[in-house]
Amino acid sequence: MDVEEKLDLMKTMFNPKNVALMGATSKMGKIGSLVGMSLLSCGFKKKIFPINPSPNYQGKKILGFDVYSSLDKCPEQIDLVGIVVPPNAVVDSVKQAIENDIKTAAIITAGFGEVKSDERQNENKELVKVAEKGGLIFVGPNSMGFYSSEDTTSPLHLGFGFMLPNPGNISIVSQSGTMGTILCNALQRIRYFVSSGNEASLTLEDYLQYYAQDEETKTIALFAEGLRAGKRFKEICTEMTKKKPVLFLKAGITKTGARAANSHTGSIAGSLDIYKSVFKQTGVIFADQIMEFIYLIKGAHFLLPLPDHDPLRAGIISGGGGFVVHLTDLCEKHGINVVDLQTEPNGPKLIEDISEHLPFYWSHNNPVDMVATNNPNAYQNVMKLMLDSDCFDIIFTMTSATFHERIKMLKPVNESGKIMKEMMMSRRGDMINQIVDSEIKLAQSQLTKKLIYVSLTPNLGNPLYDKYDENQVMVFGGNFETAAIVLRKLHDYQTFISRSSS
């Protein structure tokens, strides 16, 4: 089957009119039950046909749907079948699908190319042969399934990862289902997610090409242990990165990691230097570790395009002197210029204006330490001056919303301490929503600059940050250095694309 035929069938796979589930069961905790629950919990509103040949299920329902003993008993033509049966029954299930003119499937079952026994390798070859002869494409095997919000009124999650994303514009391919689930939960607004598994039929390159053609996909994230078709990958990315950013996290970069990758999905990991060379030539943005990867994806989605000044000129403002000095070091380390207002053409005037709002002993330069001023309007006034100034491209500041989180961490040793903590919690707690709303509004009001919030409180799994994400306002939580790294890599990508297009 050629690429164009695959891509055409993938349209049906990602937006089917119905789904059959072979291996469906009502036994809670079984994969066949979890997949069915995932279909419903993500909002799939189209028809579902549970398939189970056991006499115990005849005339019964699973998750409210009539159970059928085989695909040919379904009352209408099936678009997509999920296969969650024992390994030795997978090939027969695929044959049954082909006999019923079904062209797309997701094979959740493991135990094929990743297992090095002759028996399982031969079974994998038979699976591929049968599917290709029958004109059927499939996700997997050894997959946690996939998610599609192509139909935003009826999102599809044919898989068993614990995730509840909302329709969005970020598309993901992950050769690890667990890693992909983490990404979906961290990013939330998802167009497509595929746990590609062993890629015996559809490969990472197929999904990548499909995403490239999809107008609603704005950002692409790839987690991979190895590539099946490096030349094709390079060709796709060379054209695609000019239109939308591609982020890549590579696993299996050490000798031991490569061995683990081979046993996980059967991937041949390959040299990291070769991958980095390809990324450099094509504009793919490479992440060094998972949290950086998540922030790079968010940053690409929320912050691009960045101001085109090279290097980026940063302003830093905060109520903590140690914080601004530390962030200054990190910015300089990663090639971001923390502007010296003493030498900037309009810097002295900005210093003069800021001095009207701060005590005489403030630093009189950037970064701006608010020196614990008791002027309640000082921060707002100084921030406005910095945002209005032409000295900066980006402004870093610490979000005030997480102060409440830090108060929660206090462990009073006596009654007075408890009273103080309760007082601070109640006073600050009433203000949290107002602070969040005001910070979001301020960031969204900027047309030429990027206002970036940082925090010591980690983002992942913290509902405090949900509203920022929903409004595409960038908050880096937990590690200040990640903010500098992400800005540098996004700026490098933008510079590469600009030069490639000129």
Radius of gyration of the chain (CA): 26
What pLDDT sits at residue 120? 80
Report the DSSP beta bridge partners of residue 477: 455
How far apart are alpha carbons 350 and 387 in whole angstroms? 11
What pLDDT sits at residue 278? 93
Give tens-digit pLDDT for 40-61: 999 999 999 999 999 999 999 9
Is there a contact between 285 and 246 (Cβ–Cβ < 8 Å)?
Answer: yes
Is there a contact between 202 and 116 (Cβ–Cβ < 8 Å)?
Answer: no
CATH architecture for the domain at 3-287: 3-Layer(aba) Sandwich (3.40)
Q: First CA to last CA across the chain, in angstroms?
A: 37
Q: Where in the chain are the domains?
A: 3-287, 305-501
Maximum average pLDDT range among 193-197, 257-261, 316-320: 193-197
CA-CA distances (angstroms) from residue 44 to 37, 84, 156? 10, 19, 5
Is there a contact between 415 and 359 (Cβ–Cβ < 8 Å)?
Answer: no
- DSSP H or E run through 107: strand 104-107
How far apart are alpha carbons 423 and 158 in whole angstroms? 48
What does the longest C-alpha to C-alpha distance in the chain come to? 85
DSSP calls for 468-488: HHHTT--EEES-HHHHHHHHH
- Find the angle CA(368)-CA(383)-CA(389) to the nearest 5 degrees: 90
How many C-beta atoms surround the C-beta of residue 464 within 10 A? 18
Site of tokens 């921060």: 379
Is there a contact between 295 and 476 (Cβ–Cβ < 8 Å)?
Answer: yes
- DSSP H or E run through 86: none
Give tens-digit pLDDT for 101-140: 999 999 999 888 788 878 888 888 999 999 999 999 999 9
Site of tokens 């309640």: 376
Could you tell me which of 51, 19, 57, 6 has the C-alpha nearest to residue 159?
19
What pLDDT sits at residue 432? 80
Is there a contact between 108 and 143 (Cβ–Cβ < 8 Å)?
Answer: yes
Is there a contact between 38 and 158 (Cβ–Cβ < 8 Å)?
Answer: yes
How far apart are alpha carbons 248 and 225 in whole angstroms? 11
> Among 49-53, 409-413, 459-463, which stretch is predicted with the lowest mean pLDDT?
459-463
CATH ID of 305-501, from 3.30.450.40, 3.40.50.2300, 3.20.20.70, 3.40.50.261: 3.40.50.261
Question: What share of the chain in percent tops pLDDT 90?
Answer: 76
What pLDDT sits at residue 269? 52
How far apart are alpha carbons 44 and 354 in whole angstroms? 55
Judge if 3-287 and 305-501 fold alike in CATH terms. Answer: yes
**Could you tell me the pLDDT band of residue 427, with boundaries at 50, 70 and 90?**
low
φ, ψ of residue 194 in degrees (nearest 5): -125, 125
How many C-beta atoms surround the C-beta of residue 501 within 10 A? 7
Tell me the mean pLDDT in the region 78-89: 97
> Among 41-50, 262-271, 406-415, 483-492, which stretch is predicted with the lowest mean pLDDT?
262-271
